[in-house]
Structure 1
């Protein structure tokens, strides 16, 4: 590659594990494997850490979205008679990329160097979720700092944003709820808390009278259980979509892509409830890393480097090396031409086989490479994502906020929730007079997903004609002068790729459609167990059982006591 730095040959040339791509699951694996004494080489073809989880400047984000499908150049012919060389290619996870600039000053160096924009937003961390516990166990919390998401809202097509009353104090301060509704919500939360307390208690005589939700109710759809509790539709929406963070329309059983059972619904409420107050300097349940989500994979990479992991950025791999006789995996060829060997290999989800690679392979060789054969995704859900840089705020006096639009809240055909995260300059992601908005929704196809995001955008933001785009229809709304003005916008659709386990070759997961990292952490743990044969990550590191925080310029530094 013409832009490849003049790297000296790597030494050593043999490792226990090679990982390609520095996304969150891969970086967790690198830190965990290095902590266990495994020799790890961690490569990334990009000039930055994070891969699909990175936080980038606007020019770098634009370049990544538009050029991510470019494959590395073909490798030079191998003169090694012992190995079969199988060429690799890179396929883009992104489609329907649309980027528009409404104010060219946003691209000035004065502004662009202050913008750190997430590829996989909107995304936050719950104070009590597993990703926080994993950071505490690994010691990665020493390399990242957080701040609170100030408020959560549920929105509708009228532009009204109703606060999510997620605690006793918030419920009684909420002016949108009638006294009867407040009592109903408090009664429900008390039932959930009593159930969680009873479930956590040991089986003693003193617990015989403890309140618990019946096993029969736990197996019913959560929406039916909420109706059984006589909760009105407005409160059901708040619980389902503002607290439990459900994607699909739970009232439409036939069209629902994921009908939530009460057991899982209670677990989601438990996560939310236990997150509130875990760290005294965190206002609510949600926190966000200062400088962007890209700080999370970097934190795990720093921990891995401390434990001996070797990092090389701007280094694609161009081919895999297989044993000619057995068909087993042996190593990789770098873009520099150097051959590096390992027992195990973990690949970025965008890496696949070259178009001609499979035609001449034996069955044994094909089995070794099966995780790299592109799967049909026609029936798989995708994630439509949007980013807006705005001047102003979607809610006066609020800088960092989460907004959820439940199904059918914007238009009758909306079958999936749309989530919006607004972040301000206090998180070092944008200049002081601006905010960054992230949008996402699950979708079956690109047009459906982008139409849903544009509907949410038109409700929150004053429309403008882009400077760098052909004529584009905009939706006029009442009271547009009160809305923030958009300066820059990106729309794109991301393919969902789940990690694949193979014998010696496996692949990591792409960003998912969830608000938090719990499922990605779970996939990283499973990948670690598959590769390392161990069920416990960071067993010699710090326990997360006693966690605290220190205040630093208003930030939340999570620490283990």
Structure 2
């Protein structure tokens, strides 16, 4: 502890671990601390004992649930889209060597009282029960337009200006019905509310292309998920940081944040020990006076003994209930994984239902999602604040990440990582592939020979 560092990082959530990994690779001397005795912070994956300690005040899990070590339960469920930026970061930093991924078997949407598969290609789109006969033709034209668009070829633009027109205008140009707009915006572009309709169409275009290209990469669905749960992601980046000299301390409480006479960060105190640095990065829980609450998320972790009904008995599912289907302002998300992902015991399934809180009875708001799960063996409900920093950190050199939202993917997390990286370093995040372990060893061997 009693040393000077370039950066101190507080909390081992995914945002913090990605940043400490990237900064370590660039030669920064990093000290990384977490008050918990496990990695992941709010985005951790817990075993059965940890889960019951957190939600049941230390009560023991029933023996029928199986072995403790068979469980890696995500506190915050998210799936990766095969082509999203976080996957590129994993590849470029070679963190993929610590992880193994499995595809999510299906992507579904709830509409008009039933669960339907989200079309994975144009052929599925024109045969989908989600859309009427004439609307299918219009949707096919729209999807062809999206995939054929080239910025530098006006003949592909169909009179559309993606940067000046709102998305609602583009939908109207193609004559798409409200239900189809809803499906495209929520089940494919993965927006949690309807604000996207009145924003520049470019944003939705980018998201639709991400979805379509991610499906094209593996088929079936656009999503992939790490074996042993999302807690493997922060641990992978922690290992990367450690390889490059980063120092990690778990189960280390932070007693005080230290500032100089000008109010700039200068270090931290843990008990009688102190560590010093010019900058600090941390999650909102370490800086309660420097963040504001902008909303809340309700999540229910449900243990099932069967796959989600009406999804074809598959092992893993992403299911979205668009807000209009249940008269809400925000979508409800259901993420389901199983023993095939090494996150629960054999013959069990983990389904996590989540949404943005809109009323004083949060658990009632996820009822439409819970009702689609069939019989629930065990349920753990939590409500978390969504906190954001009050300032950008340039004055006091305190850089605070945003809380995780209710969305089912990592797009918003990568936006936060890019934003913090630029404020900390002054530079844009440019992904440079680092040498793989085999290449490093080969070059070292060549150096020894010469």
TM-score, normalised by the number of residues in structure 1 = 0.71
Q: Distance in 2 between matches of 1:247 and 1:126?
A: 16
Q: Distance in 2 between matches of 1:169 and 1:426?
A: 29
**Deviation by residue 1:303-342 (Cα, 9 ceiling, x = unmatched):** 111111011110011012334x55543221113x211112
Q: Distance in 1 between matches of 2:248 and 2:171?
A: 50
Q: Distance in 2 between matches of 1:157 and 1:246?
A: 19
Cα displacement (A) at 1:224 = 4.2
Q: Distance in 2 between matches of 1:247 and 1:327?
A: 38
**Secondary structure of the corresponding residue to residue 28 of structure 1:** helix
Residues 163-242 of structure 1: pairs in structure 2 closer than 5 A: 163-175=117-129, 177-195=131-149, 198-199=150-151, 203=152, 207-212=153-158, 214-215=160-161, 218-242=163-187
Corresponding residue number in structure 2 for 1:342 = 277
Q: Which has the higher helix share?
A: 2
Q: Is the 8 A contact 2:167 2:196 kept in 1?
A: no
Q: Is the 8 A contact 1:19 1:42 kept in 2?
A: yes
Gaps of 5+ in 2: 437-450
Q: Is the 8 A contact 1:136 1:542 kept in 2?
A: no
Q: Distance in 1 between matches of 2:52 and 2:197?
A: 33
1:409 to 325, 333, 348: 325
2:205 to 262, 266, 270: 266
Cα displacement (A) at 1:296 = 1.1
Q: Distance in 2 between matches of 1:331 and 1:258?
A: 45
Cα displacement (A) at 1:214 = 1.7
**Matching of residue 24 in structure 1 with residue 14 in structure 2:** yes
Query: CA separation of 1:109/1:333 partners in 2, compared to 1, >3 Å: closer, same or farther?
Result: farther
Cα displacement (A) at 1:261 = 3.9
Q: Distance in 1 between matches of 2:336 and 2:72?
A: 13
Q: Distance in 1 between matches of 2:44 and 2:174?
A: 43
**Secondary structure of the corresponding residue to residue 512 of structure 1:** coil
**Secondary structure of the corresponding residue to residue 377 of structure 2:** strand
Q: Distance in 2 between matches of 1:212 and 1:374?
A: 48
TM-score, normalised by the number of residues in structure 2 = 0.87
Cα displacement (A) at 1:232 = 3.1
Query: CA separation of 1:258/1:322 partners in 2, compared to 1, >3 Å: closer, same or farther?
Result: farther
Corresponding residue number in structure 2 for 1:535 = 428
Cα displacement (A) at 1:65 = 5.8
Cα displacement (A) at 1:269 = 0.4
**Matching of residue 494 in structure 1 with residue 384 in structure 2:** yes
Cα displacement (A) at 1:240 = 1.8
Corresponding residue number in structure 2 for 1:244 = 189
Residues 83-94 of structure 1: pairs in structure 2 closer than 5 A: none
**Structure with greater contact order relative to length (CA < 8 Å, sep ≥ 6):** 1
Farther-moved stretch of structure 1 (31-40 vs 394-403): 394-403
**Matching of residue 314 in structure 1 with residue 231 in structure 2:** no
Corresponding residue number in structure 2 for 1:509 = 402
Cα displacement (A) at 1:62 = 4.2
2:72 to 101, 116, 121: 116
Gaps of 5+ in 1: 1-9, 68-98, 251-255, 353-371, 462-482, 544-561
Query: CA separation of 1:341/1:387 partners in 2, compared to 1, >3 Å: closer, same or farther?
Result: same
Number of equivalences: 431
Cα displacement (A) at 1:110 = 2.1
Q: Is the 8 A contact 1:275 1:285 kept in 2?
A: yes
Corresponding residue number in structure 2 for 1:421 = 335
Cα displacement (A) at 1:445 = 4.4
Residues 298-377 of structure 1: pairs in structure 2 closer than 5 A: 298-323=235-260, 325-335=261-271, 337-352=272-287, 372-377=288-293
Q: Is the 8 A contact 1:106 1:487 kept in 2?
A: no
Q: Distance in 2 between matches of 1:105 and 1:64?
A: 12
Corresponding residue number in structure 2 for 1:435 = 349
Corresponding residue number in structure 1 for 2:369 = 456
Corresponding residue number in structure 1 for 2:223 = 286
Q: Distance in 1 between matches of 2:126 and 2:112?
A: 26
Query: CA separation of 1:511/1:118 partners in 2, compared to 1, >3 Å: closer, same or farther?
Result: same
Query: CA separation of 1:486/1:187 partners in 2, compared to 1, >3 Å: closer, same or farther?
Result: same
**Deviation by residue 1:287-310 (Cα, 9 ceiling, x = unmatched):** 111111111111111111111101
Larger radius of gyration: 1
Q: Is the 8 A contact 1:58 1:107 kept in 2?
A: no
Corresponding residue number in structure 2 for 1:135 = 90
Farther-moved stretch of structure 1 (303-312 vs 168-177): 168-177
Q: Distance in 2 between matches of 1:498 and 1:107?
A: 40
Corresponding residue number in structure 1 for 2:441 = none
**Secondary structure of the corresponding residue to residue 421 of structure 1:** strand
Q: Distance in 1 between matches of 2:40 and 2:277?
A: 23
